[in-house]
Structure 1
Amino acid sequence: MIDAHFHIWRLGRNDCAWPTPDLGAIHRDHELAEIATLARAAGVASAILVQSQASERDTRWLLEVAKGSDFIVGVVGWADLTATNIGERLDALAHAGPLVGMRPMTEGCADDWFDAPAIDAGLTALVERGLTFDALIRPRHLASLDRLAARHPTLPVMIDHAAKPSIGIDREAWRDALAPLAMRPNIMCKLSGLMTELAPDGSADDLPPYIADLLALFGPERLVWGSDWPVLNLRGDYAEWLACARAAVPATDQPAVFDDNARRFYGLEAA
């Protein structure tokens, strides 16, 4: 089993500026040893490490950590996709460790961020190097991301955290906005980050309808499970989220959702 989305950070080092002190539950250093122990106890054998800072310095650190680990099978990093020398930057990062993709920090950006022509050269550079694109977004970005996927039909795009729906609010509108993207063969979706979108009085019991929607839209062949640890700890814990997801995904679909799809999307060797 693969955890396709987790983070580590050291506050104040490697350009780490987030989480801020108001996020008390996660405002501390989070190291690889902690998550590796936690995940393996839950039956997770390997994982994809994802950037949490808009910094190449942070990405280089993540790649260095990954090189020395038998738990991390790939790193989704950050680089300025609008840089004139983006190809050289990607090559340097790929040389530093097991880079599998890039993730710009876009959830706080304008609704039409993905329409910007300035990012197209960077996206083409990803395709040329066999790298993927993780989209950290909100539902309001979905239309723009759909247009990006149309412009770059060979770019593998992963929607992180199912576009962060507000659980219990406008579920139908979220599902309808996702539907056109689910029709595109180059787009997949992460079954992750949903617990932190729960209403203040919500619980894991509110999540199965959303998971059912994702299975109906993307099918079990284009849905990928991830923990989003340690951000997950703001509203739940590793074992609770894994149990919730496994209970909502039919047993026959679990090998794909919890392992095979991540390997295929990120270009990893079969287990």
Structure 2
Amino acid sequence: MIFDTHLHLIDRSRLSYPWLANLPPLDRDWDFDSYLATAARVGITDVLHMEVDVAEADIDRETAWVAELMARPGSPLRGAISAARPESDGFEAWLDRVDRRVVRGVRRVLHVVPDAVSQDARFRANVRKLGQAGLPFDICVLQRQLPLALQLVDVCPDTSFILDHCGVPAIAAGGFEDWAASITRLAKRPNVNVKLSGISAYGPADWSLQTLRPYVTHLIERFGPGRIVWGSDSPVCTLQSTLAEWVATTNALLQDLSSEDRALILSENARRTW
């Protein structure tokens, strides 16, 4: 069965999403019940909600909404990867008061802010505090920013990191070699895991299984099945596939692995990490 570590839910009546106006195909509500209907058909049994870059004033309200959904009878939702602002003065106070029964990790999307943010001393000190608190940090960067991700990891050796979306490879632009070299360097850091998620959205419109295979093969070779987790990146995956197609693609890409290794990637590593 599958543990989805990367579900985005959107409710524009409850929360503000400033970035949505610039991405019309996603600029609507994406509700939990619709997701669950597909999840039940494709074998998704456990879910983590991934923050959706809501307006800063809505970060706590997003977490409270996830808590409501977790409390529903039979809910497969196991927690939230919360948005946060490690670059701010208020981060430590936020970390002290956050509901750890809901918040299982933290993400600050780094490709929507200046590159200097992840190099700031306060940002790095606060990401180190996540390690002390036992909360993983999801790194969401573009391929060109992977060297910055490596710098962040190196100054926070006691924090556990998850590299989102395979490091956002520039598949459509044909940037495999540069991406692969950066992935190889990151994989040498034992506190880094990688998330197999979202990459159908980065290929050409006519992507196929063979388009994505070199990227997944390289991840498995460098990180090994014990350091890879799976995510749907729903609804972003719908830009160039459906949720069901992404699950089917994943199963095809992992078919040559043993059943034990597939289980690690699809569910067991997520249970260990979060």
Q: Same fold by TM-score, threshold 0.5 exceeded?
A: yes
* Structure 1 match to 2:267: 259
C-alpha separation in 1, matches of 2:32 and 2:119: 36
Separation in structure 2 between the aligned mates of residue 158 and residue 239 of structure 1, nearest angstrom: 24
Taking a change above 3 Å as real, the CA distance of residues 22 and 155 of structure 1, as seen in their structure-2 partners, is closer
Conserved? CA contact 1:106–1:137, under 8 Å: yes
CA distance in 2, matches of 1:171, 1:16: 32
Residues 10 and 16 of structure 1 are in contact (CA less than 8 Å); yes or no, is this contact kept in structure 2? no
Match of 1:41 in 2: 41
Cα separation, partners in 2 of 1:21 and 1:178, compared to 1, 3 Å: closer
Q: Mapping of 1:232-247 within 5 angstroms?
A: 232-247=237-252
Q: Indicate if the aligned counterparts of 1:6 and 1:227 stay in contact, CA closer than 8 A.
A: yes
| Alignment match of 2:159 (pick from 155, 174, 183) | 155
SS at match of 1:144: helix
Verify: 1:65 aligned to 2:66, yes or no.
no
Aligned ranges 1:199-214 → 2 under 5 Å = 199-214=204-219
Aligned equivalents of 1:68, 1:101: Cα separation in 2: 21
TM superposition shift of 1:21: 6.1
**Equivalences for 1:210-221 in 2 at 5 Å?**
210-221=215-226
CA shift for structure 1 position 62:
2.8
Q: Is the Cα–Cα contact under 8 Å of residues 112 and 144 in structure 1 kept in the other structure?
A: no
Partner of 1:269: none
Amino acid at match of 2:273: F
What TM-score results when the alignment is normalised by the length of structure 2?
A: 0.90
Consecutive aligned runs of 4 or more in structure 1 exceeding 6 Å deviation:
none
> Match of 1:58, SS?
helix
Identity %: 28
Displacement of 1:13: 3.0
Where does the alignment leave 5 or more consecutive residues of structure 1 unmatched? 267-271
**Correspondence for 1:138:** 142
Equivalent AA in structure 1 for residue 155 of structure 2: R
The number of equivalent residue pairs is: 264
Structure 2: which 5+ runs fail to align?
Answer: none
Q: CA RMSD in A?
A: 1.8
Aligned mate of 1:184, from 189, 203, 214:
189
Quote the offset at 1:208 in angstroms. 1.2
Contact residue 87 and residue 120 of structure 2 kept, 8 A: no
Q: Matched residues in 2 for 1:71 and 1:90: separation?
A: 25
